[in-house]
Amino acid sequence: MIRILFAAFLLLWIAFSCDTKDEQLVLKDRISNFEDSITTLSNNLGAGERIATSLNHDLIELLLSYYHTYPNDAYAPEYLDKVHLIYSALGNYALSAKYADTILLNYKDYINRNIILESQACTFDIFLKPRDTSKVRYYNELLLQENKDLSQEKIEDIKFRLKNLHLTIDDIVSTQIEK
């Protein structure tokens, strides 16, 4: 009797696992196809035309659906990164920063972590008003701390920015032009 129950449990578990994998693959395919459609639409736009914002929001919903359903999957941080980039492109920097922080907090080994850190420093330095210099400092220091193999030029740029946080980017550019 125990063998029969175990076999039935095993069959149900396998069937459930297959359904879940099928759903996951279907969602990945939907995302891929939607991205391809947006790319095709983008390539066929005339001068001054833009893709409907609703399409970007539909893609965001698909990407977030995947992340929430499969947070431990290898694609989850990549899809969150896409959400971060889409919101940034739409000018919604607060939501962009929110999803970038989600990646930084939950996916310490994400391959594009350095790019996310730089993006966050830039977002809090330039795009979000009022500027949050404590966040700019935090992300830049984290970038330096986590990356001992940064180029010397990159290290010097970050240290220069940290030393001059009292200046806006516009102030720095103006100062450089005057020299």
Residue 141 domain boundaries: 112-179
Secondary structure letter of residue 72 according to DSSP: T
Q: Among 29, 61, 94, give the residue marking a domain's end.
A: 94
Residue 13 lies in a domain: yes
Co-location of 128 and 173 in the same domain = yes
| 21 & 89 share domain | yes
Q: What is this structure's pTM? A: 0.84
Give CA–CA dist 71/73, Å, rounded: 6
Say whether pLDDT at 119 is over 70. yes
Chain segment 145-172, per-residue pLDDT in tens: 999 999 999 999 999 999 999 999 999 9
- Do 4 and 88 fall into the same domain? yes
Q: Tokens standing for 100?
A: 């970038």
Give yes or no: residues 2 and 89 share one domain: yes
Residue 66, in any domain of the structure: yes
The mean pLDDT value of the chain amounts to 89
Instruction: Please check whether residue 23 lies inside any domain of the structure.
Output: yes
Q: Residue 7 falls within a domain, yes or no? A: yes
Best CA proximity match to 135, nearest among 170, 161, 106, 109: 161
Both 84 and 148 in one domain: the answer is: no
Residue at 105 is within a domain: no
Same domain flag for 120 and 49: no
107 three-class SS: coil
Total number of domains in the chain: 2
Residue 4 clears pLDDT 80, i.e. is over it? no
Same domain, 70 and 150: no
Distance between CA atoms of residues 145 and 172, nearest Å: 24
pLDDT beyond 80 at 28: yes
Confidence class for position 18, pLDDT limits 50, 70, 90: very low
Do 122 and 55 sit in the same domain of this protein? no
